[in-house]
Structure formats: structure tokens, C-alpha cells
Amino acid sequence: TRWAQGGVAAAIGEGDTPEEHLDDTLVAGAGLCDEEAVRTLVTEGPGAVRRLIETGAHFDRDSEGAIELAREG
């Protein structure tokens, strides 16, 4: 949609958890989200990002080589 921000949403930052990602997404979804679908997304998301990196996908990185993370919303 024209509202899409781009990027990948996954709990891969230090101290970030899939459970917090689930809660944040459900709150932002204002009752419109399918909770089981969101649970699958946030649970499988970190592994999917790791697999993308392993297969050569490029992500923006900081000067120390860590993936640049941002908070949405």
C-alpha cells in the first residue's frame, strides 16, 4: 500500500522478543489482526532474517557491522 514503510519487522535487536513484537503488533492493529497469523510471523521472523543473511541478502549496517534497526510506529 502507499502506507508501507519498507524494511523487515522482526525481533532481532538486543532485548527485543517475539512476545513483545506480538503485543506491539496486536495493539497497532486495533483489533484487525489475526492473532495466530501474527504469532507465526513474529515467531518465525528472526529465523527468516538469519536465513536471508546466510543466502546473501544485504541489510543496512552500522559502522561496527551490526544491522541498522529502527522502531516503527
Report if residue 63 sits inside a domain: yes
Domain that holds residue 58: 7-68
Report if residue 73 sits inside a domain: no
Q: What is the mean pLDDT of the chain?
A: 88
Report if residue 2 sits inside a domain: no
Report if residue 1 sits inside a domain: no
CA 69 to chain centre: 9
Helix axes 18-28, 35-54, angle to 10 degrees: 130
**Does pTM top 0.85 for this prediction?**
no
Report if residue 39 sits inside a domain: yes
Q: Per residue in 10-61, pLDDT tens?
A: 888 888 899 999 999 999 999 999 999 999 999 999 999 999 999 999 988 9
Would you tell me how many other CB atoms lie within 10 Å of the CB of residue 8?
12
Cα separation, 52 vs 26, in Å, equals: 25
Report if residue 27 sits inside a domain: yes
Count of domains observed in the chain: 1
Report if residue 22 sits inside a domain: yes
